[in-house]
Amino acid sequence: MDQSISKKIALLNQTTLDSLAEVNILKIIERFTETGLKILGANFGFAWWKNPEDDKYKLAYKSPNTPYEPKLPREHGGNFMAEKNKTPIFVEKTIKENYEKKYDVSPYMESYAIIPIIYKNYLYGNLVICFKKEHIFTDEDKELSASLGNTTAQTIIIHRFIEQEHKALKKAEMLKYTWKLLKEEKLKTEFIANATHELRTPLAIIKGNVDLATKGDHKKLKSTKSALRAIDHEIKHLVKIISDLTLMTSSNVWESNSKIVYKKVNLKSLVAHVAVRSKALAYKNKISIIAKNIPNIFIFGDKKYLEKMLFNLVKNSITYNKKNGYTKITVEETKDNFVTINITDNGIGISKKDLPRIFERFYRANKSRSSYARTGLGLAIVKWIAEIHGGEVFVKSIKNKGSVFSVSLPIEKIKEI
Ligand code: ADP
């Protein structure tokens, strides 16, 4: 192949690649027609495009200097002949009689080529290249014309394939999004159902005790007092549930964590602070808190939430403990730039049956230990806080022996300012 043809074919191939960026098949034809016209040195040209829906021809492109309105391809005309034989037609000189009788060739052109756009036996349309003067088609012209038809067809195929892929991808994304919405909706509905249930119980107890106090025998001061005490207990419980619910919903637990403020947090002082806060409760329950040799590790997070997470775990290890038991807090740097906070107790432990469910919202394994402060939301909050910090929470527990809750969090390397 001589150099100029290979250069021209390379130009056609380049046009193939460029055309793939176009979103419109007609634009692709336009681009190729222009390249074809330029390569063959034609005066004007146009392209017929077969509509895949009804197999009818449409004028897809007309070069700006086309001096007349191309007529639709007719049976036995050049376009149909090219389609039938699946090879380009080259007419070097139009014949007058043919023009008048059969072919209806425009008086503006003396010479033309019809190049079928064919790929794997399917005809996508025709490129018509016209010359105002007689044109001798060289072998090079013929070779380029065949190349032009093929490349155009292949580009259209690739383009369609890409378009289908895009559509499939979009569909998959839509499905994923719908699924996410449905899941969120389900979570919300479950959450509201659970919350309503939890709020209803103390309200029913309050109502019962109010009835008792108002309708009962007022002289029996003792029973009135005990009813009021029960009401007080339930109101405190309601306040606790509402405060936990507010924490979970105000931060939009479902989607974004926009209210969370990430800053440098020193784990050593965080642990010390939580240990001090838990002292009174530990003293009341005769539990000792051990938090020694906590390393000076910084993580990146929201101090308020991290403290809440740690406090919930420490508080549980005190509540679900035995007399004279202990709560031990340790912190260790683990592999891959993570830090693990362990809260160990030698308390009542958790049964194998309850263990997989304790992080569920409102799940309580030891209902007998119920106090107004128990809402069954504590561990759900712990899990959520760990996750929004890019971490996880694990538990190991043996019934009657004790439990270890471990929170693993990523350590962000903080640049010194
Ligand atoms: P609650 O408000 O009931 O404490 P949590 O979500 O904090 O709710 O805990 C869920 C359940 O997990 C508790 O009811 C308790 O049965 C169990 N649990 C949590 N921490 C411990 C622990 N350290 N030892 C034994 N059981 C625990």
Contact by Cβ (8 Å): 305, 385: yes
Angle ∠(300,282,238) on CA atoms, nearest 5: 80
Render pLDDT for 309-319 as a digit per residue (tens, 0 to 9): 999 999 999 99
How much is the pTM? 0.55
Q: What CATH number should be reported for the domain whose range is 5-249?
A: 3.30.450.40
Task: Please give the Cα distance from 270 to 284 (Å, whole number).
Answer: 22
Render pLDDT for 283-326 as a digit per residue (tens, 0 to 9): 888 999 999 999 999 998 999 889 989 999 999 999 999 999 99
Of all residues in the chain, the percent with pLDDT exceeding 90 is 32
Strands annotated E in 198-325 = 263-266, 288-290, 298-301
Task: Please give the Cα distance from 234 to 297 (Å, whole number).
Answer: 41
Q: How confident is the model at residue 97, as a pLDDT? A: 62
Among residues 352, 246, 334, 253, the alpha carbon closest in space to that of 297 is found at 334
Virtual torsion, Cα 40, 46, 51, 56, nearest 10 deg: -110
The mean pLDDT value of the chain amounts to 84
Would you say residue 336 has pLDDT above 50?
A: yes
Render pLDDT for 384-393 as a digit per residue (tens, 0 to 9): 889 888 899 9
More confident residue, 136 or 186: 136
Contact by Cβ (8 Å): 83, 116: yes
Would you say residue 404 has pLDDT above 80?
A: yes
Q: How confident is the model at residue 75, as a pLDDT? A: 74
Would you say residue 327 has pLDDT above 90?
A: yes
Strand partners, 50: 57
Domain 263-410 has CATH 3.30.565.10: yes
| For ligand 1, atom 1: residue with the closest CA | 376
Render pLDDT for 230-260 as a digit per residue (tens, 0 to 9): 888 888 888 888 887 777 766 554 444 456 7
Would you say residue 216 has pLDDT above 70?
A: no
| For ligand 1, atom 8: residue with the closest CA | 376
Residue 192 CA to ligand 1 center (angstroms) comes to 21
| For ligand 1, atom 23: residue with the closest CA | 317
The most confident of 94-98, 225-229, 271-275, by mean pLDDT: 271-275
Residue 293 CA to ligand 1 center (angstroms) comes to 27
Task: Please give the Cα distance from 387 to 394 (Å, whole number).
Answer: 12
The closest-lying atom of ligand 1 relative to the alpha carbon of residue 321 is 24
Contact by Cβ (8 Å): 403, 347: yes
The closest-lying atom of ligand 1 relative to the alpha carbon of residue 347 is 24
Would you say residue 415 has pLDDT above 50?
A: no
Residue 316 CA to ligand 1 center (angstroms) comes to 6
| For ligand 1, atom 14: residue with the closest CA | 364
Domain ranges of the chain: 5-249, 263-410
Which helix or strand (DSSP H or E) is residue 7 part of? helix 3-19
Q: In what order do the strands lie in the sheet with 111-119?
A: 57-62, 44-50, 122-131, 111-119, 89-91
